[in-house]
Structure 1
């Protein structure tokens, strides 16, 4: 197949990821918010309806996972698979039990038109830097805010933000094969600055600690 279609194929793959995240968000909202609220109010029938919807969402997610798997089997050679990238920082996010510890080992500063982010390894032997153009750093932060404000998300994931900004990161930075790495490095800064925190009992999901207005003012002050 001609690689002229590569971008479109990757865009469709990213759309699968976004749909997967949205369904996960809906599932969690039903289970963690709507059903407990109905239980407090004694709305038995509404709880039954919510449980039926919960099962439908789960079934649809299973169908989507199969469809996504089939799509990757067909077009896998043309897709940048973030989950398979051999990048130490992405492996860290997968394995790290305490993201706050990672953030504590992270330092950052503005250098000319870039943001330099460095994270020391747990044994202190060395650190790995990420150099991000400041306009990309700002774009990532604004995209995160947008997910909470415009789309009313309860949490964000690194993969969601990297999917949304995949083309921009590839075109305007040196992270051609690892947009997810760059997004994760920004998330570490936001956790260090007490703007985001890990969603309780969930790995790789992050929730707001500060208001969008506060974050925008913080961003302007950099």
Structure 2
């Protein structure tokens, strides 16, 4: 049983949002994702999708995109991104599909691993971080702790955290998120949100203070799911 990750699918099955405006490599990107997903992932595997799943505004509109993900191989864990306005009650979402789990203030167990996470938010930076940002940032830290605490008693001592936003600012300075990962002994962190060469340059990757970080925006991965656990 392997674990893969690919974020920022930006599907638009029911809305007019051609991704080709963001560059030629985005044209028909869903076909590239589907091709590589089916070539790599098996039904017994798990795929993590850390946010920005669908451009839909309402769940009814998002269903065509969720069904598209559902028909792909493997079990899936989905996390809310900043563009997932259709995301509503996580209890309702978790009754929709047998092989898809929606992550919010909870955790998912797979093999030896607990999958935890929260959307995240901007980390303190010199450009934009006002009182409202700080309020949301602190709320997301609490949601992350709730998710991590939900693993207690499961017997799973390996933890993978999903966030949508990066865990640091573009200077890769320590944050409340990185402190929590280190305190809870998190093994791996996957995130997305960043796009383009400028965004990729500010991405924390590799092992830092015992935690392995992965940037997993689908354009960064060339639209191929990344295997993070054999």
TM over 0.5: no
Higher relative contact order (CA 8 A, sep 6+): 2
Structure with a larger share of its residues in helix: 1
More strand by share: 2
Superposition TM-score tier, normalisation by shorter sequence: under 0.3
State the TM-score, normalizing by the size of structure 1.
0.24
